[in-house]
């Protein structure tokens, strides 16, 4: 049941990205380039996603267990940290270079796009470089 819910959620997430045009890196770059002819679509994707998520996450936040009986794991409030902006700035630089982030990358890999596969391999290397599983037991961060 867990697998079914997660798989369906991933499938719908991917279809949403495709419908929104976000599986096309060129469209993301079009948003990140107000200096050219600007395509504001990404802002509307965020708006639509945030509006609906706010309801779902708000409802989930009031529950102790989910529909499948799994405990509800929403990240607690924590103070701001430097790693948030440092990591964000590195992430944004890579995002701007090609117009891809992890979700759309998986969708593009699903279409058999070679560049997206290269990006994906390097992204996994980036994960490992940060997590360094060979050095210490990995500490899973829930909020990501």
Of 99, 98, 121, the residue nearest 109 (C-alpha): 121
CB of 51 to another protein, least distance (A): 6
d(CA 51, CA 110): 28
143 part of the interface to another protein, by CB under 8 A: yes
141 part of the interface to another protein, by CB under 8 A: yes
CB of 118 to another protein, least distance (A): 4
Kindly state the DSSP code that residue 135 receives in the 8-state scheme: T
136 part of the interface to another protein, by CB under 8 A: no
Footprint (CB under 8 A) of another protein, residues 12-71: 12-27, 29-30, 32-42, 44-61, 63, 65-68, 70-71
CB of 67 to another protein, least distance (A): 5
Residues in the chain: 144
How far is CA 123 from its chain centroid?
Answer: 13
83 part of the interface to another protein, by CB under 8 A: yes
Residue 43 and residue 36 in contact, taking contact as beta carbons nearer than 8 Å: no
134 part of the interface to another protein, by CB under 8 A: no
CB of 61 to another protein, least distance (A): 8
* Token pair listed for 115: 């560049």
135 part of the interface to another protein, by CB under 8 A: no
Of 8, 29, 16, the residue nearest 107 (C-alpha): 16
């Amino acid at each position: 049941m867990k697998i079914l819910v997660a798989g369906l959620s991933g499938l719908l997430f991917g279809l949403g990205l495709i419908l929104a045009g976000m599986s096309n890196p060129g469209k993301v770059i079009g948003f990140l380039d107000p200096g050219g002819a600007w395509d504001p679509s990404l802002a509307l994707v965020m708006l639509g996603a945030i509006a609906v998520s706010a309801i779902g996450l708000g409802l989930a936040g009031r529950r102790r267990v989910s529909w499948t009986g799994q405990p509800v794991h929403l990240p607690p409030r924590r103070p701001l940290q430097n790693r948030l902006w440092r990591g964000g700035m590195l992430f944004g630089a890579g995002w701007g270079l090609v117009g891809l982030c992890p979700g759309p990358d998986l969708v593009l890999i699903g279409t058999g796009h070679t560049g997206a596969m290269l990006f994906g391999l390097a992204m996994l290397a980036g994960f490992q470089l940060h997590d360094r599983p060979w050095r210490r037991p990995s500490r899973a961060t829930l909020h990501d």
